[in-house]
Structure 1
Amino acid sequence: MIRGLAGLDRNNEYFIFLKAQDSRHFENLPPNMRRVELPDYSRPMRLAWQHLRAGEQAQRLRLDIWHGTHYTLPHRVSGVRFVATFHDLGVFLHPQFYPAGKRYYFQQTFFHAARIAHGILAVSEVTARDFHRLVSFGKLPQQQGEVQAIASGVNEEFFATVSLAEKKDVRRKYAKDSRYILFVGTAEKRKNLGMLIHAFHRLCQRSQNDYVLLLAGQSGNGSAEVAHAITACSLQNRVKCLGYVAEADLPALYQAADLVVLPSLYEGFGFPALEAMAGGAVTLAANNSAMREMVGHAAMLCENEPEAWAGKMEELLGNQPLRSELISYGRRRAQQFSWRSTAQKLLALYERLHAAKTISVFDLSANGAAKSSRDGATSSKAIPSSPTDVAEAVLRTIAYADLFDYPLRFTEIHDGLLEARVSGVAVSAALQRLQQRGIVAESEGYFFLSDRRRLPEIRRQRSSISRRILEQNRRIIAAIKNFPFVRGLALSGALAFENGKEGDDLDFCLIVDSRRLWTTYLGLVLLTKLLGMRRLVCLNCLIGTKELVWSERDFFVAHQIAFLLPLSGADYFRQFWAENSWTRDHVPQISVERRLAQGRLFAGDECDNQSRRKIVETVLALKPFNLLEKVIFYFYRRRIQRLTQHLQTDSVTANAGQIKLFTNNHRGRLKAKLEARMRPWLAKLTEVTVEVEENYAAS
């Protein structure tokens, strides 16, 4: 599913929560898809996280949609649209197949998901019908959202033809060179393996053959029944329980089988049948539930009787014309189940759900009043009045990033839109218009000015460099984060965007307890000198907890403040951004919580060694050290003034509550470069949008 979405959608941003050991399945994803690795939890702890803590992640990341791909949805989350995937409803329809504890847990989980989900994805038509039937019986609540049947897909590796050598290898490895009938799945009661073993016993009695029956899959609540059936039929030498089989071996194991069987009493989808059919294996499945829907051919279905199964297996093993027909049919049938098709339907569902939350820039129903942004701030001047204004705002945002060789993702354009507040729909329409006119291009989910085709490659390289720099300097970052009186630490400059180059400095902005601002500054200077890192670590900005308001106010300062990347002290930076809400006039759609979440993914939010730091702070906060603070302030301020007196800039501040040492003021240069960069593209946009503007005015 993720691969299917990756091939279709480069506009939306995705966060994929997964176990660390599963990361290998999600390598080389496009830049709009980010992996979030979960701690190495046990299954109960992972389920507890999904119910109780996942909602916090959803709100920190300001997610629009949370898709629970396996029943579970978070509790106590507002402002998020939920999608729940229902793979089957066996715990309601066949409760006798499940242990009491598991049955109770899943029934409660399903009930919760059905109650709060805005969209319910059923993996088959059968599962969708079962859902509606259970609602009518009162077993599930009346859902608030739509129920849509969206079939899963078959992975591409199962369609590839396996060589004869590979088939021989798996036959030797798993069947000791014997011909075999194959079952793939967990040994659960609903898989009906006891019946299959008795049917295989009858097949062996009917004719002289050397087939073995391979049962591939982990043990389950039906394992005892399997062992009993094998013993009762004296098939210890003919039935082999393989346990878990490596995924890499499955395609060859299917294709080397003389017959693949799926005798389940109930399935919500039936992956093994389709995977086997995709590779050209003759398949026999039970004539019930979703297997009838997936297989779709009468000759490949059988009723639940051992004698009937023995007869069907004998026919499919010996009737060569029928085998050839079913091999050809099976491949065609499996091709109808692609992950791309699944992703197309799923993306349409996401868009329908999100559309209910989106307000178009053209919906100015409140007499043109500004709509609230996602973080609650408003700006009366930030609503464009026409499609051209929206396109110009998008163009200006992309052009400003271009000054730093930095292409933007869709979400980065929307959240970082300069001096405009518009919906995602309007941004998407503006991007489409700019692309149609040859002003903006897109590649791998990145948008950039059309004469800058190498920017995605540059961004990938710089992202790798930035992560390496941060990883190499993790210890000094931790040391600063845990330093006495430091209340919050944020990256600024290029590394805050993962746009660093080889040899770049670490630019930091710190929020420090106002009582010991200058003592902390001196301590950090001495620490970095002692470690030989004074030139690498730039302590450009220390803000006291009682002096959070920034006096210099223009677009360039606003952009720097808005895009700080906090590594600790989330609450302090929330307060800092709130105290400087004027930045919303320039970057009105920036998501504070998304910036906090992005920083937290790298460094975590809480400091270590709290007790040790509190002891040091308690001592240094004593009154005798007030004089030391004043002495350091007096001498260091004079030193800073002496070193910067030749600079004609208002970007250097040294007072009791703030230290700002921005000795290189690039505002004038950046402003001139931005205007020069915009001029030809803006002329092209104005030239080609005259007709659009007239039509808009007429409407």
Structure 2
Amino acid sequence: MKLLVNLSSLNHPLTGIGEYTLNLVKEMLDDDQVQDIKGIRSSRYLDRHQISVLIAALEQGHQTDQPLTRYLKKMSRLKLIARIARKAINAYREISFRFYRNMLKHYIYWEPNYICLNHQGVCVPTVHDLSHLICPQFHPKARVKYLKAELPRTLARAKHVIVVSQYTKQSVMEHFDLDDRQITVVPPSVKSEYYPRTASECAQLKKRLGLPENFILFVGTLEPRKNLQGLLLAYKLLSTELKSQYPLVLSGKKGWLLEEIEKTLQPMLDSGEVIWLGYLNSKDLPALYSSATAFTYVSHFEGFGMPIAEAMACGTAVIASDNTAMKEASGGAVCIVSPHSIGSIAQGMRKVLLDSSYRIECETKGLEISKNRSWKVSKQLLVTALSNLNNGAQI
């Protein structure tokens, strides 16, 4: 099987889609079923060795963008020219893709990030979720418009579709004319680095970051979809004693539509109830998860919910939403709450913090489930689906 992959999501810092792409491609580099693999990134085509070098650089946290791409992305942050910059980036990728597509038409094209480029051969996109249709209020209008226009076109010419959860599979079947046989679930996993860290490692991290002995943790982008407002208001409902014993620690970069969240957050930062670390290098996350007494992830919508799986793998009790794909990510090993009720979220935090037996039960179950997760397993699901297409099988 010859495979072509769009690597445009492989930029530092990696998003969730970037992590998904990197880890699956890394596994496929050594797979005997993949006769050849090429990657497209900006205007360049990368061979197997070049892809390996790129992945190694990203894992070391190095900036890997091409200068023009970096400039266009920087410009896209300015609202007045965001649309022009976005179109320029997409056109730039499409033009460079056309130049090589005749040579690569016998390659199966796997697109890890929703929208396929104009490939003459077999196309297989990955759909992570349909939040742009189900809850468009959590996305910029331009992104919603773009996905509404382009995703139906991609799915119409796709030979097969990859999704990250059973929830997303059902959503795709409900919104588009696809049946069960046309879709394969390839869930994300967690890297081998995510495991319970020693007391010494945790103490070193807490000292370096200025963290207290005990705390509640959230990891993710600060944006409305993650329900930071609900989490903060629920945390306010805890007793003064509980909040002083377990400050709320937030780790993640700022997203969009933060005005309401910042009004609630700033007084809590000033009082010391909440600590915001900003964006942390992924190398610090296993020790950060391991150091937390509990991890909270009460998002309104997730295609999977990777931080839930990461925290479980580090042996930390998790409080998570009862909706969308987060039940799949949690595997029944977490304290389930309603993201729409601050009372439910607060009660979940109280239960995990005050009931040590229950907390230990969640930690133990989480570790057991994590044993069955690996990127090798996910890679094999993907390779099998693509190989069946290469061999002409109807899947």
Fold shared by both chains (TM-score > 0.5):
yes
Of residues 352, 356, 375, the one that matches 1:339 is: 375
The answer for unaligned runs of 5 or more in structure 2 is 1-23, 45-49, 58-63, 74-85
Looking at structure 2, the residues matched to 55 and 295 of structure 1 have their Cα atoms a distance apart, in angstroms, of 42
The C-alpha deviation readout for 1:436-494, integer Å capped at 9, x for no partner, is xxxxxxxxxxxxxxxxxxxxxxxxxxxxxxxxxxxxxxxxxxxxxxxxxxxxxxxxxxx
1:154 aligns with 2:190: yes
Equivalent position amino acid for 1:81 in 2: V
Of residues 297, 318, 322, the one that matches 1:287 is: 322
Looking at structure 2, the residues matched to 60 and 264 of structure 1 have their Cα atoms a distance apart, in angstroms, of 44
Looking at structure 2, the residues matched to 94 and 226 of structure 1 have their Cα atoms a distance apart, in angstroms, of 19
User: How far is the alpha carbon of 1:68 from its aligned partner?
Assistant: 0.7
Query: What are the within-5 Å matches in structure 2 for residues 520-531 of structure 1?
Result: none
User: How far is the alpha carbon of 1:181 from its aligned partner?
Assistant: 1.2
User: How far is the alpha carbon of 1:237 from its aligned partner?
Assistant: 1.8
**Which position in structure 2 is the counterpart of 1:196?**
231
Of residues 143, 146, 168, the one that matches 1:102 is: 143
Looking at structure 1, the residues matched to 352 and 55 of structure 2 have their Cα atoms a distance apart, in angstroms, of 38
Preserved CA contact (<8 Å) 2:216 2:247: yes
**Which position in structure 1 is the counterpart of 2:111?**
68
Equivalent position amino acid for 1:17 in 2: I
Looking at structure 2, the residues matched to 265 and 320 of structure 1 have their Cα atoms a distance apart, in angstroms, of 27
1:114 aligns with 2:164: no
User: How far is the alpha carbon of 1:320 from its aligned partner?
Assistant: 1.7
User: How far is the alpha carbon of 1:296 from its aligned partner?
Assistant: 2.3
1:83 aligns with 2:112: no
The C-alpha deviation readout for 1:472-526, integer Å capped at 9, x for no partner, is xxxxxxxxxxxxxxxxxxxxxxxxxxxxxxxxxxxxxxxxxxxxxxxxxxxxxxx
Percent identity of equivalent pairs: 25
1:316 aligns with 2:352: yes
User: What SS is found at the alignment partner of 2:245?
Assistant: coil
User: How far is the alpha carbon of 1:325 from its aligned partner?
Assistant: 1.6
Distance 1:308 1:248, change over 3 A: same
The C-alpha deviation readout for 1:11-54, integer Å capped at 9, x for no partner, is 510113347999756249xxxxxxx9866513435433344432
**Which position in structure 1 is the counterpart of 2:10?**
none
The C-alpha deviation readout for 1:239-297, integer Å capped at 9, x for no partner, is 22222110111111111111111110110011000011011111111110100111122
Of residues 175, 183, 193, the one that matches 2:218 is: 183
Equivalent position amino acid for 2:310 in 1: E
Q: CA RMSD in A?
A: 2.8
1:13 aligns with 2:36: yes
Of residues 354, 362, 365, the one that matches 1:329 is: 365
**Which position in structure 1 is the counterpart of 2:55?**
26
User: What SS is found at the alignment partner of 1:272?
Assistant: helix
Looking at structure 2, the residues matched to 267 and 55 of structure 1 have their Cα atoms a distance apart, in angstroms, of 34
Equivalent position amino acid for 1:47 in 2: N
Looking at structure 2, the residues matched to 204 and 25 of structure 1 have their Cα atoms a distance apart, in angstroms, of 49
**Which position in structure 2 is the counterpart of 1:242?**
277
Looking at structure 2, the residues matched to 278 and 24 of structure 1 have their Cα atoms a distance apart, in angstroms, of 28
Query: What are the within-5 Å matches in structure 2 for residues 479-490 of structure 1?
Result: none
Preserved CA contact (<8 Å) 1:116 1:144: no
Normalization by structure 1: what TM-score? 0.46
Distance 1:25 1:257, change over 3 A: farther
User: What SS is found at the alignment partner of 1:128?
Assistant: helix
User: What SS is found at the alignment partner of 1:157?
Assistant: coil
The C-alpha deviation readout for 1:349-390, integer Å capped at 9, x for no partner, is 111111239xxxxxxxxxxxxxxxxxxxxxxxxxxxxxxxxx
Looking at structure 2, the residues matched to 171 and 25 of structure 1 have their Cα atoms a distance apart, in angstroms, of 31
1:270 aligns with 2:311: no
Normalization by structure 2: what TM-score? 0.78
1:349 aligns with 2:372: no
**Which position in structure 1 is the counterpart of 2:101?**
58
User: What SS is found at the alignment partner of 2:39?
Assistant: strand
Query: What are the within-5 Å matches in structure 2 for residues 617-636 of structure 1?
Result: none
Query: What are the within-5 Å matches in structure 2 for residues 544-583 of structure 1?
Result: none
Looking at structure 1, the residues matched to 51 and 248 of structure 2 have their Cα atoms a distance apart, in angstroms, of 31
The C-alpha deviation readout for 1:85-130, integer Å capped at 9, x for no partner, is 1111100000111121121112223222212211110100000001
Equivalent position amino acid for 1:156 in 2: S
Looking at structure 2, the residues matched to 144 and 58 of structure 1 have their Cα atoms a distance apart, in angstroms, of 30
Preserved CA contact (<8 Å) 1:118 1:144: no
The C-alpha deviation readout for 1:555-580, integer Å capped at 9, x for no partner, is xxxxxxxxxxxxxxxxxxxxxxxxxx
Of residues 25, 47, 55, the one that matches 1:2 is: 25
Equivalent position amino acid for 1:292 in 2: K
Higher relative contact order (CA 8 A, sep 6+): 2
Distance 1:248 1:18, change over 3 A: farther
User: What SS is found at the alignment partner of 1:199?
Assistant: helix
User: What SS is found at the alignment partner of 1:8?
Assistant: coil
Distance 1:196 1:222, change over 3 A: farther
User: What SS is found at the alignment partner of 1:53?
Assistant: helix
**Which position in structure 2 is the counterpart of 1:256?**
291
Looking at structure 2, the residues matched to 329 and 60 of structure 1 have their Cα atoms a distance apart, in angstroms, of 50
Looking at structure 2, the residues matched to 39 and 235 of structure 1 have their Cα atoms a distance apart, in angstroms, of 39
User: How far is the alpha carbon of 1:72 from its aligned partner?
Assistant: 2.2
The C-alpha deviation readout for 1:138-176, integer Å capped at 9, x for no partner, is xxx6589811112122111113x3232321122233343
1:210 aligns with 2:245: yes
Looking at structure 2, the residues matched to 318 and 254 of structure 1 have their Cα atoms a distance apart, in angstroms, of 19
Equivalent position amino acid for 2:274 in 1: V
Looking at structure 2, the residues matched to 5 and 278 of structure 1 have their Cα atoms a distance apart, in angstroms, of 23
* Higher alpha-carbon Rg: 1
User: How far is the alpha carbon of 1:206 from its aligned partner?
Assistant: 6.8
Distance 1:244 1:5, change over 3 A: same
The C-alpha deviation readout for 1:540-560, integer Å capped at 9, x for no partner, is xxxxxxxxxxxxxxxxxxxxx
Preserved CA contact (<8 Å) 1:201 1:235: no
1:297 aligns with 2:332: yes
The answer for unaligned runs of 5 or more in structure 1 is 29-35, 136-140, 358-699
Preserved CA contact (<8 Å) 2:205 2:288: yes
Looking at structure 2, the residues matched to 39 and 67 of structure 1 have their Cα atoms a distance apart, in angstroms, of 25
Preserved CA contact (<8 Å) 1:85 1:122: yes
User: How far is the alpha carbon of 1:214 from its aligned partner?
Assistant: 1.7
Distance 1:115 1:55, change over 3 A: farther
Looking at structure 1, the residues matched to 123 and 172 of structure 2 have their Cα atoms a distance apart, in angstroms, of 17
Of residues 92, 111, 129, the one that matches 2:170 is: 129
